[in-house]
Amino acid sequence: MSFKNTFWIIFLTLFAFNLGLAEETIFNYSPDSVYSNKGRLSHNVGKIDSKSVFEKAKKVCKELGFNTQSEKFVKCGLELAETASGFDLARNQEYLLSKKIQKKENINMSFAYEPKSGKKMNEESKWTKFWKEAAWVLYEHGDDILKVVLDLKYDTNFSGYNSNNEVTNNRSGLRCTGQRIGKVIHETCRGGGVTLRCTTQILGKMAKRTCREV
C-alpha cells in the first residue's frame, strides 16, 4: 500500500470521526425528525457531509485497485466510512434526496424502515450495520429514486420500472430490481451485504418510501 493511500485512509477516518462530532454539521432538527416505532422520518433531518465521506472512500478504494463494480469495492468503502455514524449518514442522504425532490417537484418525501424482527428501528448500536448500508443504498441509488417519483407522478418511464416485467439496474456494486404494480413501484436492492425491499408511492403531495430488511 502506497504512502498516498495510507495517508488518505487515515485522513478519511479522522474526517469522518470529526464530522460525527462537529456541532456545526447538525441543523434543522424538529419534532418531525424523530423516528417512530416503524422507523418513519417525515421531515428535515440532521445533516453531515456524508457525500464527501463516500466520495473520498470510493476514491481510495479505487486507487487500492478494487473493481468499482465489485462487492469488495462496496465493502471497502463501507469499512473506510465506518467511524462515521451510519444512522447520521442515512439521515443525511434522506435529507439531500428529500430536499432535491421538494425543490424539483414540490413533493415531500418520507422514509420508513422495517427490520426483520419488526422491533423498533432506531439508532441503537445493533443497527449500525443496517444504517450504514441503508445510507450506501440511498447514496448510490438517489438519482434512481428520484426517477421513480417522477414516474409515479407523471406516468413516465425514466426508471425503467414502468413495465410489466422486472427491470434490473446496476450501479457501483449495487443491484436494484424493480417493477410497477398499479400506483406503487416495488424494488429490491442488494449491495454492501444488505438486501432491502422497498415500495414507493405518491399520496397527494407526499411520496412515501418504505424499506424492509430482508
| pLDDT tens-digit map of 88-133 | 788 878 888 888 898 899 998 888 888 777 666 777 777 777 888 8
Range 173-195 average pLDDT: 89
CB 204 within 8 A of CB 196: no
Range 155-166 average pLDDT: 91
Q: What is the pLDDT of residue 84?
A: 66
For residues 73 and 143, give the distance between their C-alpha atoms in angstroms, rounded to a whole number: 20
Most confident of 2-11, 50-59, 140-149, 204-213: 140-149
Task: Name the burial class of residue 105, with classes exposed (0-12), middle (13-18) and buried (19+) by CB atoms within 10 angstroms of its CB.
Answer: middle
Residue 33 confidence class, pLDDT cut points 50, 70, 90: very low
Q: Which domain, by its residues, includes 77?
A: 3-213
Strand order in the sheet with 174-181: 108-114, 206-213, 194-203, 184-191, 174-181, 167-171
Cα separation values, 115 from 124, 134, 159, 174, 182, Å: 13, 12, 26, 20, 25
Q: Has this prediction a pTM greater than 0.75? A: no
State how many domains the chain has: 1
How large a percentage of the chain has pLDDT more than 70? 72
Q: What's the one-letter identity of residue 89?
A: L
Sign of CA dihedral 62, 125, 130, 150: negative
Q: What is the pLDDT of residue 20?
A: 40
